[in-house]
């Protein structure tokens, strides 16, 4: 089960006003256990809503299609969207015999490609697979006495993270979340952890990571505008990677990189950073959508594109 298919994730979204509410579909994918499929109801535009099933790791079969179609109509939603997740790149396993859902999406929450590390490898093997600049930057941070520590998930530290994130978003020109969102994330996502990188007692970089069973996720990262030459984010990542190995995680997921053939992507900078630390880029997600109210949906999509 992925982090996005958990009740703690759904509660975090509702408390952060990211989703209106959520629903749970009971599905029998094997003879032993009942699988809970979590469905987010999110505001779209013009006081309309869409349904999202994020991080789905089972086959999209007729039962799921029919249940989502019915829920979509009962809730008067414009559409229902499914985003799959498979680290083995066996994406066709999710296709099933789809009747209502077609390939596509309204908004992508899990970009198709990510960068991963196989944590079954030794630390030496992981380091050896990195680009020379990645290894060099880790050692540079250590040599310059940058120290990385796991810290308590309290309001004070959440605020410190948020302040660093504001510097990051301003510098790199992208939108961040609110302080309340990060507080809710750390409070409600049980396996989330907060790490700070210090230099001379100053916090110069920080990261929020989720150690979710067999998978470790690098979810949010931030760095200040000062001491950037110390390469603290690299040591921050290396510390989290080692921490994930000790916890018994099998996969370290950097989350979100640019599609390989994109010439200009808003993820270009972060992709360059992540790919210095691993050569393993994978396509892990596909998206499928059922549109219930087609005319209004396409009007909203057209308006969205025009504004964009």
Q: Confirm if 248 and 109 have CB atoms less than 8 A apart.
A: no
One domain, residues 239 and 289? no
**Mean pLDDT in each 10-residue stretch from start to end of the chain (308 residues)?**
93 95 86 84 94 92 92 97 88 63 93 95 98 98 98 97 95 86 95 97 97 95 95 98 97 92 79 96 94 95 80
What radius of gyration do the chain's Cα atoms show?
Answer: 20
Q: Domains in the chain: how many in total? A: 2
Question: Tell me, what CATH number does 291's domain have?
Answer: 3.40.630
Question: Tell me, what CATH number does 217's domain have?
Answer: 3.40.630.30
Task: Identify the pLDDT of residue 269.
Answer: 86
Task: Identify the pLDDT of residue 266.
Answer: 78
63-103 pLDDT, tens digit each? 899 999 999 999 999 999 999 999 986 655 555 566 799 99
- Phi/psi for 219 (5° steps) reads -95, -50
Query: For residue 29, what are the domain limits?
Result: 3-110+284-307
Question: pTM of the predicted model, to two decimals?
Answer: 0.91
One domain, residues 172 and 261? yes
Task: Identify the pLDDT of residue 268.
Answer: 84
Give the list of residues 6+ apart from residue 275 with CB closer than 8 angstroms, or none: 115, 131, 257, 281
């Amino acid at each position: 089960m992925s982090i996005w298919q958990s009740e703690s994730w759904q509660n975090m979204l509702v408390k952060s006003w990211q989703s209106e509410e959520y629903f749970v579909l009971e599905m029998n994918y094997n003879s032993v256990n009942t699988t809970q499929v979590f469905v987010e109801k999110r505001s779209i535009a013009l006081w309309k809503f869409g349904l999202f099933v994020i991080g789905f790791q089972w086959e999209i079969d007729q039962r799921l299609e029919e249940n989502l179609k019915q829920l979509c109509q009962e809730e008067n939603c414009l559409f229902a969207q499914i985003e799959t997740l498979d680290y083995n790149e066996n994406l066709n396993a999710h296709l099933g015999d789809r009747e209502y859902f077609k390939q596509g999406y309204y908004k992508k929450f899990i970009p198709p490609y990510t960068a991963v590390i196989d944590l079954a490898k030794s630390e030496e093997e992981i380091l050896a697979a990195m680009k020379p600049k990645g290894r060099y930057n880790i050692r540079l941070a250590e040599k310059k006495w940058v120290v990385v520590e796991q810290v308590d998930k309290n309001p004070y530290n959440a605020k410190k993270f948020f302040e660093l994130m504001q510097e990051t978003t301003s510098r790199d020109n992208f939108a961040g979340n609110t302080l309340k969102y990060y507080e809710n994330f750390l409070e409600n996502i049980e396996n989330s952890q907060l790490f700070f990188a210090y230099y001379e007692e100053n916090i110069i970089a920080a990261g929020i990571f989720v150690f979710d069973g067999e998978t470790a996720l690098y979810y949010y990262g931030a760095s200040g505008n000062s001491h950037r030459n110390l390469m603290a984010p690299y040591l921050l990542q290396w510390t989290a990677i080692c921490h994930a190995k000790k916890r018994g995680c099998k996969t370290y997921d950097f989350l979100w990189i640019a599609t390989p053939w994109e010439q200009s992507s808003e993820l270009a900078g972060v992709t360059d950073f992540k790919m210095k630390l691993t050569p393993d880029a994978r396509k892990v997600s596909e998206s499928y959508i059922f549109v219930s109210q087609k005319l209004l949906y396409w009007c909203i999509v057209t308006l969205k594109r025009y504004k964009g």
